Structure 1
Amino acid sequence: MAPQDENPDKSYFRMDFVQEIIDYEETEDGVVAKFAMVPNPDRYKKIETEEFQGYYDTLDKAYIPFSTIESFASQMRGTPIYHSSPEIDNTSEYIKNRKETIERFFEEEQEPPELIDASQELLQELADKNDTRFVILSIDIVGSTQLSQDLETEEYRKIIQLFFREISVMIRDFKGHVLDYQGDRVVAYFPDPNYTGMHDNSIDCASSIKKLILEGINPVLQSRDLPELHFRIGMDSGEADIVSIGASGVRGELSLFGSTINLASKIENQASEDEILLGEETERNLHTMWRQNTEQVTFDDWDYEKENGEQYRVYRLKY
């Protein structure tokens, strides 16, 4: 598919707010406080001059008038706020506890996993609601072909099984869903209803996967004189079509198709060993904390363009 046919939909953006106490009162029952949601001062600089009244976004290099924020607040009034907290609140503690399970994986005969695909039910629900905005995460093993040649078949099988299992569990715990297993690759998606929340969960998941492999899985492999695992992660965000594929009487399933899926895979292919790369739609919708730890990267063979003809930017997560 030609690059110009793979333009991501650029219709979404986020603003980050923090709570600010505007009043409090001591009562017999305690302290009653009133809070206001204000643009995050780590990102937005308030400007009040004759020429401009509003905020300057230091990350997007854009001016946001007070009137725009007031309009945004008016539109949000009465709208439910969704919070999609991950199951993992401390990655280091999670990895510490998980290492015992990883050790046992090599010592015990593993039962085949139960054949469940809850993702299919979710995709049907999302299709029924016409909810088709996602963050896509694609991860594969670097050098898996060489790994298969260097190891005994049983050792290689165990390592691949371990990789798929641990990555899948972590994706689930960060509110994501496995879309597909492709050779040595896992493709996952993080859905709405919380567009900002799914971005925060997806990048937290990607960063935690990196830490899990480097600090959890690899030390166990080293202790057994097995080669370490290395990986690449690519991510992109936007619209994706939920499509029924297959043939009646053979095999049928729902899957995701579109430029967002394609670009996540192509971005992953550009990543170096143990690197996390993000398409600009994903980077643009991350929380300020994450965006402050990304940097734009360029490639000689990257020519994917947006609808306005500008090159689609790619960013590296710096840790």
Structure 2
Amino acid sequence: MSNTNEYSEDLPPLRTEGRGRLDLIIEEVKTSEGKIKFRVTPDPRRYERVEADGEVCYIDRFTRVMFPIRLFQDAISTLPFYDLRPRIASTTDYAQERALAVEDELAGESLRSPSVEPARHREMQSKTTITSTPFLSLDICRSTELRRRDSASFDRAAEILLREMQILVGQFEATILKATGDGFIAYLPHPAFTRQCDLIVDLGTSMIRMARDSICPMLHASGLPRLDIRIGADYGEARFEQKTNAATGFTWPHVDSDALNLAVKIEQTARANSLRIGVALYGLLHVQWLERAALIPTEELPSSFNGYSVYEIN
């Protein structure tokens, strides 16, 4: 794997479905008469200042896109700002709380709810909608092998682990799309696509830490199998609709999305206790995540990816 934060004219810009983001440094410079003034500048961790044809421009070191400062100024004056953040203040503290709840549950006590209430699950709307959203696919590693060894113990451990991961989904304002055997797929519907993308990666890394460092060790200490998870995620357009079999009356939710399919394919390439993402999601992330991303060599991916770039978040 290799870091990709050095700009090169030999590399083409990343494609982000016509979307882009600006990572900013915001400083308060004056407060008076109930008004606050801020100084807003492009984040130097992400952008390099250059001049082109006598005009000040910035080059994004990660997506390799150059834009003039005037476009930056226009965007600041017209773009809306959204506040979308996790409900929990600290993944570490939350994971410790839930590990203790699991320990007590395994000792025969009643299950305790989290001290911070997660967002409630949201069912798909009955009407057809087309939107862009990030998808996250989680799976338990070696589940077939572990179930073959001791199905009762595995099923008990998997039930607890997946329940805690699903609760964590709600703590990040996301929702479950569907179960997938020994895992599930989640997504995060919201109009703020940059916050969507940042939160889905924050959720993925929080899942890895919580499972690896808190829940799975507690399960193993109680005599249950030691479990590992792997996660894939990507971003793109999706068509949500309800399908019906007219002959039987059976109705089911259906999602048509390349991003969803890619999230699952990417998850299947991930190592145990790791998060991998597609380039469409990568191109819309905050610089704090980009600095932690490493490009997976093409030769390590299945040929079906056809050169589609995949990154691992460390």
**TM-score (norm: length of structure 1):** 0.82
- The yes-or-no answer on 1:241 pairing with 2:248 is no
Q: Deviations over 1:29-70 (max 9, x none)?
A: 9xx752133211221233357644121222223321112213
SS in 2 for 1:191: coil
Aligned residue number for residue 54 of structure 1: 57
1-structure distance, mates of 2:51, 2:27:
19
Q: Deviations over 1:123-145 (max 9, x none)?
A: 318x57x4511100001011011
Aligned residue number for residue 266 of structure 1: 265
Q: Deviations over 1:60-116 (max 9, x none)?
A: 23321112213323442xx4x2211211120111011111111133233879xxxxx
Q: Name which of 176, 179, 182 aligns with 1:181.
A: 179
| Contact 2:130–2:238 (Cα < 8 Å) also in 1 | no
1-structure distance, mates of 2:108, 2:87:
27
- Code of the aligned partner of 2:286: H
1-structure distance, mates of 2:148, 2:104:
25
Deviation at 1:207, TM superposition (A): 0.5
Aligned residue number for residue 302 of structure 1: 303
Q: Name which of 192, 216, 220 aligns with 2:214.
A: 216
- List aligned pairs for 1:29-178, cutoff 5 A: 33-48=36-51, 51-76=54-79, 79=80, 81-108=81-108, 118-120=121-123, 123-124=124-125, 130=129, 132-151=131-150, 153-178=151-176
| Contact 2:234–2:260 (Cα < 8 Å) also in 1 | yes
SS in 1 for 2:305: coil
| Contact 2:133–2:238 (Cα < 8 Å) also in 1 | yes
Moved more, 186-195 or 253-262: 253-262
Q: Name which of 13, 17, 22 aligns with 2:20.
A: 13
Aligned residue number for residue 281 of structure 2: 282
Aligned residue number for residue 314 of structure 1: 310
* 1:48–1:192 CA distance, 2 compared to 1 (3 A): same
1-structure distance, mates of 2:161, 2:44:
40
2-structure distance, mates of 1:173, 1:232:
19
1-structure distance, mates of 2:73, 2:134:
28
| Contact 1:191–1:198 (Cα < 8 Å) also in 2 | yes
| Contact 1:105–1:162 (Cα < 8 Å) also in 2 | no
* 1:201–1:95 CA distance, 2 compared to 1 (3 A): same
**TM-score (norm: length of structure 2):** 0.83
The root-mean-square deviation of aligned C-alpha atoms, in Å, is: 2.5
1-structure distance, mates of 2:76, 2:240:
32
2-structure distance, mates of 1:244, 1:225:
43
- Code of the aligned partner of 1:101: A
* 1:88–1:47 CA distance, 2 compared to 1 (3 A): same
SS in 1 for 2:125: helix
Q: Deviations over 1:292-314 (max 9, x none)?
A: 10011022523435xxxxx3211
Deviation at 1:118, TM superposition (A): 3.9
* 1:83–1:232 CA distance, 2 compared to 1 (3 A): same
Any gaps of 5 or more consecutive residues in structure 2? 1-14, 112-119
Aligned residue number for residue 308 of structure 1: none
| Contact 1:44–1:57 (Cα < 8 Å) also in 2 | yes
Aligned residue number for residue 4 of structure 1: none
> What is the number of residues matched between the two proteins?
289
* 1:12–1:302 CA distance, 2 compared to 1 (3 A): farther
Deviation at 1:232, TM superposition (A): 1.2
| Contact 1:9–1:239 (Cα < 8 Å) also in 2 | no
Q: Deviations over 1:212-237 (max 9, x none)?
A: 11111122123123321111111010
SS in 2 for 1:240: strand
Deviation at 1:11, TM superposition (A): 2.3
Aligned residue number for residue 12 of structure 2: none
Moved more, 250-259 or 184-193: 250-259
